[in-house]
Structure 1
C-alpha cells in the first residue's frame, strides 16, 4: 500500500509526536508498505532525504515565513487553516507519490483537506491532542480541565494564550476548518479515550477508533549504558521524572510531594524547565537538560520509580510506556491518557491530579515496600506489550484496509 504521512514536525525536531511518526513510518516500511512523508522545513534541514526507507519531503509554508508568529523558531507549527504554500507543496508531493492513504497528524491536515477529492486517497487523522476543538490544543481553561468548547469562552482562552492578534483569528479558523475536517476525514484515530471524549467525536458521529501511541518492540534495549551524561545521575536509587518541567506536567506538585517524603532519596528531573514554575527546588533535586533518547532510556533503567504527575489531560505520554518497558512502576495522575496506560495497583498507582499529599503517599508506599515494587516491575513489562509496535501498528494497518475496502 502507498502511504503518504503528513506531520508538522519530524526529527531532528524531537518530541513524543515526532518520535511516534518516525517509528510508525519505519515500521510500515519494514512491513512492506511504500511510505513517504511531508513535513514542514526548518532552517538547516535537507529538503529531501530517505530515513530507513521513508522518503522525507520537507515543504515550506507561508506562515513559517513570518518569524514573529512563533515563540520557538525551531518549532514553527502548522496553522489551523490551509496554508497556501504548504497546500501547493503537498499537492506536488501527492502527484509524485500517488498515495492510496494519506495519514495526517493534527493541524497540517488543513493543508490537505481541500485536496481530498482530487487526490482520490483515503484520509486518516491521528489526534495526538485536542486541537480539533481546542485552539491551544490542551483542553484547559483557566488552569483547569475544560468542560468543552463554547465560542466566546474559546476566544477568551485563546486571547489569554496567544494574545488578541493571534487568538481571535486562530479560534475562528479552528472552528471553521474543524467542521471541514469532520466532513472529509475517513477515520479519526484519537490516541486515548480522553482525546476521543474531549474532541467530542461520538457526539459529532464521525468515524473513529482509539489507537494509542506506541514504543518500538525493542525499546528497552535502546539505551546507552555508557553515555557520559549518566555521570550526572545519583549513585544510589532515585525517583525520575522525564518531560518539560512545567506546571501542567505537575512539576510543582511533584516538588511539594517530594519535600514531604520521609526517605532521603534523590529526585531527578530530565527536561526543559518552564517559565511558569514558581517554586524553589528543595534539596536532593537535580534538573538535567538536553539528554538524548538513549541516555534517557538508560536513566529509566537505573531509577527506582517513574513519575508522571500531570495536571492537564496528557493525551498519551510515551514516557510512561518507556518507563514500563524498563520495568519501572509508574506513579501518575488519574487524568488523560495516563489512565489508559497504567493499571492502578498493578503496574503503578494512579492518584488524583494536583494532589501533592496523595502523590507523596503513593511514592512513600512503594519506597517502603520493595517487594511490591518488584512485583509491579514484572507487571509493567507485561502490560507494555499492548503499547508496542507489534500490537499497535497492526491495528493501524487494519484501519488502512477498512477505509480502502
Structure 2
C-alpha cells in the first residue's frame, strides 16, 4: 500500500519530528510512505531535516506559499496521480485543507490528523482552522492525537455532536532509545541529584509548563524530605524569572538548573520522580512517554492529553493544575514510598511499550488505511 504523507512544512515541532519514527516503523509493514511538505524549502528547519535524513527519509517541498495559490491544487493532484497512492494522510491545517479537493480530483481517500488542542484564535487564523476542520470532517477519517484535542475541537466547532469520522489515535515514539535500569551516579550528580531524592522536570522554560507552580510547592516538599532536589532540565526565555522565583523562596540549595541535555534516557533513570506541572496547552507530551518507557514514576497535572498517557494510580499520579499544595502532596507521597514508585514505573513502562511505541502507532495507522481502502 502506498501512502503520501503531507505536512505544512518541515518546521521544528512535535508533528514534524514524529514523522521520522512513523516512517521508520512503516518499513516493517506493507505500507510504503513518501513524505512531502506543502510549503517552500525556506520554511524547513535544519534540525528537522537532519532528523529525517538520519532516518534515511527522502523529502520534497512543493513550494506552495498560500491557500489561494491557483497552482496549489493542480500541483498536488498531479503529485497524487503520478505517485499512484492508495491513501493521502495530511498532517496540520494547510496540508489537509489543500489535500481535500486534490484527493477528490485524484479519487484517492484522505486521512487528516490534528496535533494540537484547539485554543482561542483571532484574525485569519480563525478561518484557516475552520477550513481545516471542514476539510478533515469531509475526509474518510479525522484523527486527534488525544481525547483533549478531540474534545476541544468538538466544543469549538461541533458543539451539538461529534461527526462519525472523528477518532482519537495516539501518536507513538521510538521507545527503543529509552530503557529502564539503574541510575548512572555521574549523570545523577550532573543534574543535581546529590541528596536522597531527585525530582526532574524535563521541560522548556515556557509559561504553559507551569514550572513556577512546582517551585512554589518545593518548600513543602523539602520540609517533609530534607535534602530532596528539584532539577529543571531545559532552558528558555523564562529562566531569569524562574531563578528569581527560586531566590525569593530561599530554595536555591534545593532547586538545580541543569540546562538542556541530550542524554534524556539517562536523565530519566537518574530521577526518583519525573514531574510535569503544565497548566495549559499540553496535547500528548512526549517527555511523559519517554519517562514512562524508562520505568520511572511520573507525577503530572490533570490537563490536556496528559491523562491519556498517565493512568492515575496505575502508571503515575495526577494532580490538579495550578495547585501547588496538590503537587507537593503527590510528590511527597511518591518520595516516601519506593515500592509505590517501582510499581507505577513498571506499569508505565509496559503501557509505553505496548501502546505508545512507534510500532504500535504504525499498526493502528496500517489498520486504518486498510479499512479505508477496503471500502
Q: Give me the TM-score of the superposition, normalised by structure 1.
A: 0.76
Report the 3-state secondary structure (helix = DSSP H, G, I; strand = E; otherwise coil) of the residue aligned with 2:314: coil
1:116 matches 2:71:
no
Q: C-alpha separation between the residues in 2 aligned to 1:51 and 1:2?
A: 22
1:105 matches 2:105:
no
Q: What is the deviation of 1:35?
A: 1.0
Q: What is the deviation of 1:219?
A: 3.6
Mapping of 1:168-187 within 5 angstroms?
A: 168-183=123-138, 185-187=139-141
1:213 matches 2:211:
no
Provide closer, same or farther for how the CA distance between residues 253 and 85 of structure 1 changes in structure 2, counting only shifts above 3 A. Answer: farther
8 Å Cα contact 1:29/1:54 also seen in 2: no
Query: Which residue is equivalent to 1:162?
Result: none
Q: What is the deviation of 1:233?
A: 1.6
Cα deviations by residue, 1:247-279 (Å, 9 ceiling, x for unpaired): 212112111112332233222222332459955
Q: From 354, 362, 370, give the equivalent of 1:393.
A: 362
Q: What is the deviation of 1:198?
A: 1.4
Q: C-alpha separation between the residues in 1 aligned to 2:240 and 2:98?
A: 35
Mapping of 1:242-253 within 5 angstroms?
A: 242-253=202-213
Q: C-alpha separation between the residues in 1 aligned to 2:274 and 2:177?
A: 16
Provide closer, same or farther for how the CA distance between residues 400 and 51 of structure 1 changes in structure 2, counting only shifts above 3 A. Answer: farther
Q: Which blocks of at least 5 consecutive residues in structure 1 are unaligned?
A: 64-80, 140-156, 159-166
Q: C-alpha separation between the residues in 1 aligned to 2:132 and 2:292?
A: 38
Provide closer, same or farther for how the CA distance between residues 170 and 381 of structure 1 changes in structure 2, counting only shifts above 3 A. Answer: closer
Query: Which residue is equivalent to 1:301?
Result: 269
Report the 3-state secondary structure (helix = DSSP H, G, I; strand = E; otherwise coil) of the residue aligned with 2:110: strand
Provide closer, same or farther for how the CA distance between residues 286 and 14 of structure 1 changes in structure 2, counting only shifts above 3 A. Answer: farther
Cα deviations by residue, 1:27-59 (Å, 9 ceiling, x for unpaired): 112323221111243367579x86645431134
Query: Which residue is equivalent to 1:272?
Result: 235
Higher-helix-fraction structure: 2
Deviates more, 1:310-319 or 1:230-239: 230-239
Mapping of 1:14-33 within 5 angstroms?
A: 14-33=12-31
1:354 matches 2:354:
no
Q: C-alpha separation between the residues in 1 aligned to 2:202 and 2:103?
A: 39
Q: C-alpha separation between the residues in 1 aligned to 2:116 and 2:68?
A: 19
Q: Give me the TM-score of the superposition, normalised by structure 2.
A: 0.82
Q: C-alpha separation between the residues in 1 aligned to 2:351 and 2:133?
A: 35
Q: Which blocks of at least 5 consecutive residues in structure 2 are unaligned?
A: 247-251
Query: Which residue is equivalent to 1:315?
Result: 283
With a CA cutoff of 8 Å and minimum separation of 6, indicate the structure with the bigger relative contact order: 2
Residues paired across the two proteins, number:
348
Mapping of 1:2-401 within 5 angstroms?
A: 2-10=2-10, 14-39=12-37, 40=39, 41=41, 42=43, 52=55, 54-62=57-65, 81=67, 90-91=76-77, 93-107=79-93, 108-130=95-117, 134=118, 139=119, 157-158=120-121, 167-183=122-138, 185-200=139-154, 203-221=161-179, 232-236=190-194, 237-261=197-221, 262=223, 263=225, 264-275=227-238, 278-279=241-242, 280-282=244-246, 283=252, 284-292=254-262, 295-384=263-352, 385-401=354-370
Q: C-alpha separation between the residues in 1 aligned to 2:108 and 2:201?
A: 41
Provide closer, same or farther for how the CA distance between residues 37 and 258 of structure 1 changes in structure 2, counting only shifts above 3 A. Answer: same
Question: What RMSD, in angstroms, separates the aligned Cα atoms of the two structures?
Answer: 3.1
Report the 3-state secondary structure (helix = DSSP H, G, I; strand = E; otherwise coil) of the residue aligned with 2:58: strand
Q: C-alpha separation between the residues in 1 aligned to 2:219 and 2:240?
A: 16
Report the 3-state secondary structure (helix = DSSP H, G, I; strand = E; otherwise coil) of the residue aligned with 1:112: helix
8 Å Cα contact 1:60/1:89 also seen in 2: no
8 Å Cα contact 2:12/2:45 also seen in 1: no
Q: What is the deviation of 1:209?
A: 2.3
Provide closer, same or farther for how the CA distance between residues 229 and 306 of structure 1 changes in structure 2, counting only shifts above 3 A. Answer: closer
Q: C-alpha separation between the residues in 2 aligned to 1:84 and 1:327?
A: 52
Report the 3-state secondary structure (helix = DSSP H, G, I; strand = E; otherwise coil) of the residue aligned with 1:38: strand
Q: What is the deviation of 1:308?
A: 1.5
Provide closer, same or farther for how the CA distance between residues 18 and 231 of structure 1 changes in structure 2, counting only shifts above 3 A. Answer: farther
8 Å Cα contact 2:187/2:266 also seen in 1: no
8 Å Cα contact 2:4/2:88 also seen in 1: yes
